[in-house]
């Protein structure tokens, strides 16, 4: 399985690095709600701000915006023993058929949301080509995907498909699990942090200098203290790699990923280290955020720090979110540092285990 995943994701790493860097620039610098755009008021004085916004948007769309499709193509090529190039092309065409509506609009699974689906679909097509003659595998794959696409269109035209993600503490490990599987996470790093009636009630109470009615929420515990570097608290992983992993290629990946991780985008680490679908790495990927939540919950319960009530941009560097969203509460910054240190300590033994002390030139 390790070899299959490496053969699938390794060719995608240049696309992932370029696309994630473009996404980081788009969301944090060249969007009016981005952290650096708001801090320096870039939209008011920077020449070509809108043009740069559009340019980085296009670069993001045509790199990681096609990642599910590219994963299906390379997964098929990795698993096929013969006619690998042909199987990859057919997998790409069939995946496009499945994820394109009759109005020629691409579905969400074409991009990052389709990582797991692309991996499974491409592997299925590759397995199909390994067990059937080339012509039959080609025709049957395309026909099956067309029939599936038309059947799905008919089903969605006659039924309302809706999903409302429930809220609660059980969402915290589920969020990491979804990220590890390559699925869209219920709590996304790019969604607004403090929204809803509870957040509004907290803000109104803070402005009126009253006790907060809802100090323990996802917005006050999970987002400010357990998503440094993205889902899975992967800023801790990045630091652990730089501390103990002596493999040159992995250290280079960590340095390349650092600017993106500072604004909480971790796709290069998920695919390149790798974390995605790796059983051993699931343990710290779930435990590091949970430990950080436990620390933040304890600090709030003991009234050691203020709760986060002020909205900050989603691309705010992770280690600054709690400090800024509590209006500069220094104990919140101390808890932030403690959470980061603990996450590094949780990742360290797993990084040592994965690296094995081997140095690759």
Exposure class string for 242-257: b at 16+ Cβ within 10 A, else e: eeebebeebbebbebb
Give the closest residue to 216 by CA, choosing from 315, 98, 87, 302. Answer: 302
pLDDT at 189: 82
pLDDT value of position 169: 62
- pLDDT tens-digit map of 120-140: 999 999 999 998 888 888 998
The list of the chain residues with pLDDT below 70 reads 1, 101-105, 151-170, 192-196, 357-361
Q: What is the pLDDT of residue 245?
A: 93
Cα–Cα dist 332/220, whole Å: 11
The predicted structure's pLDDT at residue 299: 93
pTM above 0.85?
no
The burial of 186, by beta-carbon neighbours within 10 Å (0-12 exposed, 13-18 middle, 19 or more buried), is given as middle
Calculate the average pLDDT of the chain.
86
Q: At 357, list the tokens.
A: 């002390």
Q: What pLDDT is recorded for position 216? A: 84
pLDDT of residue 327: 87
* CA–CA distance, 288 with 339 (Å, rounded to integer): 9
**Closest listed residue to residue 183, CA positions, set 255, 78, 113:** 113
Q: Which two tokens stand for residue 77?
A: 């090529």
Predicted pLDDT of residue 69: 94
């Amino acid at each position: 399985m390790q070899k299959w995943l490496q053969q699938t994701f390794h060719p995608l790493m240049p696309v992932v690095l370029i696309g994630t860097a473009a996404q980081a620039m788009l969301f944090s610098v060249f969007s009016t709600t981005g952290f650096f755009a708001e801090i320096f008021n870039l939209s008011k004085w920077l020449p070509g701000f809108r043009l740069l916004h559009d340019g980085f948007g296009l670069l993001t769309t045509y790199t990681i915006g096609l990642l599910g499709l590219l994963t299906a193509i390379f997964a098929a090529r990795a698993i096929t023993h013969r006619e690998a190039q042909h199987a990859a092309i057919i997998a790409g065409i069939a995946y496009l058929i499945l994820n394109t509506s009759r109005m020629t609009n691409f579905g969400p699974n074409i991009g990052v949301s389709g990582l797991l689906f692309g991996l499974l679909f491409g592997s299925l097509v590759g397995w199909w080509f390994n067990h059937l003659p080339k012509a039959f595998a080609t025709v049957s794959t395309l026909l099956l995907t067309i029939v599936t696409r038309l059947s799905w269109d008919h089903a969605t035209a006659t039924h309302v498909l809706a999903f409302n993600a429930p809220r609660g503490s059980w969402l915290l490990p589920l969020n990491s699990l979804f990220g590890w599987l390559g699925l869209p996470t219920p709590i996304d790093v790019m969604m607004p942090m403090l929204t809803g009636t509870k957040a509004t009630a907290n803000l109104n109470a803070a402005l009126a200098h009253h006790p907060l009615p809802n100090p323990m929420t996802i917005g006050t515990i999970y987002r400010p203290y357990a998503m440094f570097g993205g889902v899975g608290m992967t800023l801790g992983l990045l630091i652990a790699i730089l501390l103990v992993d002596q493999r040159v290629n992995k250290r280079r990946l960590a340095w390349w990923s650092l600017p993106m991780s500072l604004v909480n985008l971790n796709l290069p680490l998920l695919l390149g280290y790798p974390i995605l679908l790796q059983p051993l790495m699931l343990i710290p990927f779930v435990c590091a955020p949970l430990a950080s939540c436990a620390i933040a919950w304890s600090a709030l319960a003991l009234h050691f720090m203020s709760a986060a009530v002020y909205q900050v941009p989603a691309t705010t560097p992770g280690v600054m979110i709690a400090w800024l969203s509590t209006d500069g509460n220094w104990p919140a910054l101390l808890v932030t540092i403690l959470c980061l240190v603990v996450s590094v300590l949780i990742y360290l033994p797993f990084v040592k285990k994965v690296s094995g002390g081997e140095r690759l030139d």
